Chains A and B, each alone.
Chain A
């Protein structure tokens, strides 16, 4: 199957500090790819590159087979790439409804957006008038996901979905992510806690110090070697 999102030999840096050294990742429609690795491995940077937020120094960013290297985040968002950043990124002082209304810039009506959000996350309908900042962490993450889904994404980039959440909530959120992927959305998720992500991933890649050290199916060799890679003793 042709990949919707493909990073090909991507190198990038923060100033003089090189962060990614030739990262290759492919995500097909309906596929969930988990990008795992320890702190500082370059996982978030990889997502930022895929969303056009961070520039590529060399290599290619391909979307649907088209070279989109250097395209602005705005162009990529218009095309259907949606990044849900670490820390949720909801507007805490706005109500749940207002947070969703902000997504009407995508051309969908407020009613359509609320229908998408409230069907998938009924708890948000109960909290529609509540300030987003007073929601629990899990509900805020649901709101962030709902806002992302309102953009009708073809490629969904999720950064540390489980951060600060209880295991039960994480499991529920990942069930929703799997459901989203089943509808044909290509999902690239970054996760520091491998077990949660590997549960729904079709493929996984382990990033260590800006390089993809392992790639393959979530079980078997990858799962067995994961802890060794995290500890940096893969060689």
Chain B
């Protein structure tokens, strides 16, 4: 990068260097389909090799059947690897999104619980304090701003505390 280069110049240069796979070619889906095909082919060849070896007494033919069988295993393993690789990517994306969402929900629930826990340092339940079960509606209110006043260092610029 030269010292006179602006961010825009650098952006254009980096874009030119960027190797972008064209999603229009649908490579992931293609690989996934290839994986399934190879798995099926592996099973078919394995069964074929088994049948061939049982229908002959010739060691030469049985030798060929063993070769076909080993090839079938190889194809099956490669096919499984491809399928798992390209199907798991999609699955893990959703899993991560779900994890993120659940963490957010947990944080909101915990924020609601703090409303009851903040006033009393005494771990024993104080007389007259509502039970934790009753915190469900309050925690909902906390999400809409009622609980924000209880947060120790929260500002009040009119913003809701959702993310």
Contact = CB atoms under 8 A, between A and B. Distances in A.
Interface of A: 4, 29-30, 63-66, 68, 70-72, 75, 78-80, 87-93, 127, 130-141, 152, 154-155, 164-166, 168-169, 183-186
Contacts of B163: 87-92, 132-133, 140
Nearest to B16: A66
A90 B107 CA distance: 12
A68 B157 contact: no
A138 B104 CA distance: 19
A229 B20 CA distance: 39
Given A71-B23, A72-B23, A185-B7, A133 B107 contact: yes
Given A72-B23, A185-B7, A92 B107 contact: yes
Nearest to B162: A87
Contacts of A135: 154-155, 161
B20 to A, nearest CB: 5
8 contacts: A4-B11, A64-B8, A80-B11, A136-B155, A136-B161, A164-B158, A164-B160, A169-B157
A154 B108 contact: no
Contacts of B8: 4, 29-30, 64, 154, 184, 186
Contacts of B61: none
Given A80-B14, A91-B163, A131-B107, 6 more contacts: A66-B16, A72-B21, A92-B161, A93-B104, A164-B158, A184-B8
Interface size range of chain B in the complex: 35 or more
A226 B157 CA distance: 28
Contact of B159 (A29, A93, A154, A166): A166
